[in-house]
């Protein structure tokens, strides 16, 4: 019988711009110590560690964990692109659920450089060249970062299919900055107007600069444990993982000539369906979501992929305010990747931290009233999507 997995400690650093952060092991140690203090346990109680990062040597996880203690425990290094942090969380959950350990650490960190996401495809490698229906001119393609090309191309495809206004995508950034203004851990706290988002330099239609997540440095951590461990340490009514799923690409990603499919729509949809089935709750039961808004186009597409609104209904969902406070479900109360920042290895664990705070009622000015079920969506192209459902009964 599978065991319940509890999240008893979380912690993260304030996210920073490249060149303005501590070294990776310093940030990781800060997040780890915060999570241990939050759980109220010493590092000696941790039996396994799963460490996630994208830019680094093969044993950076050991360098980070050794700052917390030298206890000889297994340390597993994880790299799954932008879903790395949640992939570490996924492995940590499996260790508890399968009875391999009673208490484990999931740790994610990244020290990025300026322009880290800006490498360009050449024409031969460029996947957009396969999708003429959503192409911009060649000069624009060659001038844009590849991730912006793919997610922007998906936004163009959606816009042409549904007649969606460019302003609809931009409104997601307005919402993100409004939420981030209440988050002391976010990289960008300044509120933006719709006019400011629209007037920013275009990166790739329909995306302007303020609709693209920035390279970021930071760390996040979570302590997971079994019910027996929680009881032994007098931890009552903890947040627990009600369901979790990881999905990778389907043939449709590459065969259907769709940029929407290429950027992970089917992965997200499948992972969400598995989580809803396993947890026994649906999207209508969720009160707060942290989803992977690396670009505004992906947030819009994800609303539909994970069932927050019907297919083709994202524009109405956005303008009705159903993605924010007072609406149907609060999406990215942290500010999301767009405003909180996106240190690749840390992102999934920062999402976990925010949702645990929300379910505990500890999110301060960002608190979603009455939150007791939370959903996490973390996507990495290449690809992997991790969905996690949290509850506090």
Residues marked active site are found at 82
- The C-alpha atoms of residue 325 and residue 305 are separated, in whole angstroms, by 21
The answer to whether the CB of 120 falls within 8 A of the CB of 241 is no
What's 132-196 look like in SS3? HHHCCCHHHHHHCCHHHHHHHHHHHHHHHHHCCCHHHHHHHHHHHHHHHCCCCCCCCCCCCCHHH
Residue spans of alpha helices (H) in the chain: 24-39, 60-65, 84-97, 138-143, 146-162, 166-180, 194-199, 227-232, 252-255, 259-262, 265-279, 296-305, 314-319, 336-339, 344-360
- The C-alpha atoms of residue 186 and residue 190 are separated, in whole angstroms, by 10
Closest among 52, 152, 39, 155 to 102, alpha carbons compared: 39
- The C-alpha atoms of residue 327 and residue 308 are separated, in whole angstroms, by 12
The tokens describing 267, both together, are 């992965």
């Amino acid at each position: 019988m599978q065991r319940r997995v509890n999240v008893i400690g979380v912690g993260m650093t304030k996210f920073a711009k490249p060149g303005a952060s501590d070294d990776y092991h310093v940030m990781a140690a800060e997040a780890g110590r915060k999570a241990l203090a939050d759980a109220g346990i010493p590092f000696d109680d941790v039996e396994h560690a799963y460490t996630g990062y994208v830019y680094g040597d093969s044993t950076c996880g050991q360098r980070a964990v050794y700052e917390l203690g030298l206890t000889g425990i297994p340390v597993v290094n994880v790299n799954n692109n932008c879903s790395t942090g949640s992939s570490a969380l996924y492995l940590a959950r499996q260790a508890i659920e399968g009875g391999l350990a009673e208490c484990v650490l999931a740790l994610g960190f990244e020290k990025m450089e300026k322009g880290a996401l800006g490498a360009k495809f050449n024409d031969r490698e460029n996947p957009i060249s396969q999708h003429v229906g959503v192409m911009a001119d060649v000069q624009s393609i060659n001038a844009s970062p590849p991730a912006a090309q793919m997610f922007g191309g998906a936004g163009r495809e959606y816009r042409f299919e549904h007649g969606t206004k460019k302003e609809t995508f931009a409104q997601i950034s307005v919402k993100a900055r409004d939420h981030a203004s209440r988050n002391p851990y976010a990289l960008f706290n300044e509120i933006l107007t719709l006019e400011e988002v629209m007037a920013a330099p275009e990166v790739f239609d329909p995306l302007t600069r303020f609709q693209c997540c920035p390279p970021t440095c930071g760390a996040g951590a979570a302590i997971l444990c079994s019910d027996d461990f929680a009881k032994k340490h007098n931890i009552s009514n903890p947040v627990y993982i009600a369901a979790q799923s990881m999905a990778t690409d389907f043939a449709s990603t590459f065969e259907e000539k769709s940029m929407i499919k290429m950027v992970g729509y089917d992965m997200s949809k499948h992972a969400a369906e598995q989580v809803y089935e396993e947890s026994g709750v649906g999207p209508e039961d969720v009160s707060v979501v942290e989803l992977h808004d690396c670009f505004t186009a992906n947030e819009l597409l994800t609303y539909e992929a994970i069932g927050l609104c019907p297919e083709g209904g994202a524009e109405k969902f956005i303008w009705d305010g159903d993605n924010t406070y007072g609406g149907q479900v609060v999406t990215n109360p942290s500010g999301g990747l767009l405003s909180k920042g996106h240190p690749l290895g840390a992102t999934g664990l920062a999402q976990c931290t925010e949702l645990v705070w929300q379910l505990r009622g500890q999110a301060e000015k960002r608190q979603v009233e009455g939150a007791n079920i939370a959903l996490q969506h973390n996507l990495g192209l290449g690809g992997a999507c991790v969905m996690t459902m949290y509850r506090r009964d």
